[in-house]
Amino acid sequence: MIFDFDQHLFEYPTMWMDYIDPDKKDLALEVIRDDLGYPWVASRLTNQRCYIYSNTVPEDGFVSQFSPWQRWKDGLAADVDYVAEMPAETTDPKARVAKLDDIGVDKTLLFPHFGAVWGRFFADRLEIIRANLTAWNRWAVAVRQEGGGRLEPVGHVTLAGGSFDWLDKELAYLSANGVRAATLSYGLVSGRRMAHPDHDHAWKAFVDNGITPIFHIQDADIRASGLDDRWFPDDADPLFGALDMAFSHLGVQVAIADLIFSGVFDRFPTLKFATVELTAAWFQAMLGAAEGFPGSAAAGAINGPGLDISYRVEGFLRRNIVELKKNPSEYLYENFRFTVNPMEPVKSYIDGGLEDNLMLGSDFPHCEGFHKPLDTFAGPLTGTTDEQKRKFLGGNAVNLLGL
């Protein structure tokens, strides 16, 4: 089976209004046109515009993504009707299934598109976040039913708030309807780190419901780097600041190290995470300077001495805060799976011990994605065995989600 672990389904313009709780319609996101004719994902309640609603085209040099923004910043009127130009395969489940046939994919995981960015605009309005995440989750179930077994939308949840009643309800609903993964923010949540003791309730809920938590790049209530906003005094863009992008792996590395050092995987050994569109660079940088994989740029760009050495040093200087049952790096191999980019040394990763960790991800239909992922990854997989190819192209994804 060819299982693409990273595609995106764009929310159609009235999705949030259609699927939100009837008594929460005032909280629903909408697509609202500005005076220049640009459609924005926006909140009428808070008068907040989040993101221009427009199409993206794989491998076009980001022209489709950035052109509307550049025209808008230059004060030029929209030159096309971006809503009308959205291809059916971008928003419609049946059209996406047909597209899978065209690109040679049997099954795909589907992430929200605008859902990866709008949450940061409402960090202090939990009721807006939860209501619109619920709307996506309901549509995700509908998409899965319409996809005939070939579309696997992720749920979208948050750990924010002092109570986990909402999270429990969402995970139970998703699980009961066959959804096997959910994406969530990997930064500080309501001031709490990922391994905060209160979050044990959440990790148990993921395990009990058979749902894999996923960290997707930029899908966070805070910046991907996890850096404090005070590092960005002159940056009006909360999504793609240069300093934030330069350290876009930092946030997920800190979150994962916190989960490992705090013993979360000793308490929940069957809890497995996936990271998507973050490459394997974050993984290597946590192994340490003495390890890593040949041909990888990350082998010479280490954040620090790595998890194992750091844990041992802590134990030498004083007692470890948490006594782990294994070396920290072992949890990386056992409890994490991730997609990679074709520009990475995929064969070296596999030869170096990641045969059971790597997964195919096309990022279709984003600009940085690929029209023909099997062709794109054919080169990086040259020299691997048939069994290694089987795992990379779908076997690892199927095993992770228990499908």
Tell me, rounded to whole angstroms, the distance of Cα 356 from its chain centroid. 20
pTM of structure: 0.94
| 184, two tokens | 């969530």
Beta strands in 39-106 (DSSP E): 39-43, 48-52
Q: For 5-23, what is each residue's pLDDT tens digit? A: 999 999 999 999 999 999 9
Task: Quote the CA–CA distance of 164 and 314 in Å, as a whole number.
Answer: 33
Can you give the pLDDT at residue 223? 76
Read off the tokens for 403: 């499908």
**Which among 95, 91, 83 has a CA at the least distance from the CA of 112?**
91
Structure tokens at 163: 């109570």
Cα–Cα dist 109/397, whole Å: 9
How many distinct helices (H) and strands (E) make up the chain? 17, 12
Q: How far apart are CA 342 and CA 107, in angstroms?
A: 20
Residue 235 has what pLDDT?
Answer: 64
Characterize 249-274 residue by residue with b for buried, 16 or more Cβ atoms within 10 angstroms of its Cβ, and e for exposed.
bbbbbbbbbbbbbbbbbeebeebbbb
Residue at 25 is within a domain:
no
CA 60 and chain centroid, separation: 22
Q: Using one digit for the tens of pLDDT, what is the confidence trace for 100-156?
A: 999 999 999 999 999 988 988 898 899 999 999 999 999 999 999 999 999 999 999
Residue whose structure tokens are 């989040």 = 50
Q: Is residue 73 part of a domain?
A: no
- With 50 as the cut, is the pLDDT of residue 295 above it? no
Strands across the sheet containing 273-276: 155-156, 181-183, 212-216, 273-276, 336-339, 358-359
What number of CA atoms fall less than 13 Å from residue 251's CA on the CB side?
Answer: 28
CATH number at residue 388: 3.20.20.140
Rounded Cα distance, 287 and 357, in Å: 15
Q: Which residues contact 89 (CB under 8 A, 6 or more apart)?
A: 95, 96, 98, 99, 365
3-state secondary structure of 137: helix
Q: Residue 187 has what pLDDT? A: 82
CB 53 within 8 A of CB 114: yes
Residue 114 lies in a domain: yes
Tell me the C-alpha distance between 228 and 254, whole Å.
14
Q: What angle do CA 368, 297, 285 make, to 5 degrees?
A: 95
pLDDT in tens, 203-237: 999 999 999 999 998 766 677 788 887 888 776 66
* Cβ-contact 72, 36 below 8 angstroms: yes
Q: What are phi and psi of 4, to 5 degrees?
A: -85, 115
Q: Which domain holds residue 256?
A: 3-9+89-401
Q: Classify burial at 245, counting beta carbons within 10 Å of its beta carbon; exposed 0-12, middle 13-18, buried 19 or more.
A: middle
For residue 212, is it within any domain?
yes
pLDDT tier at 200, thresholds 50, 70, 90: very high
The tokens describing 335, both together, are 């409890």
Count of structural domains, the chain? 1
pLDDT band at 34 (very low <50, low <70, confident <90, very high): very high
Predicted local distance difference test score (pLDDT) of residue 239:
63
Q: Where are the beta strands (DSSP E) in 257-342?
A: 273-276, 336-339
Residue 38: inside a domain: no
Element (H, E) at 346: helix 346-349
Is 117:50 a contact under the CB 8 Å cutoff?
Answer: yes
Contact 106, 72 (CB under 8 A): no
Q: Are 257 and 318 in contact (CB under 8 A)?
A: no
Is 135 a domain residue?
A: yes
pLDDT in tens, 35-71: 999 999 999 999 999 999 999 999 999 999 889 999 9
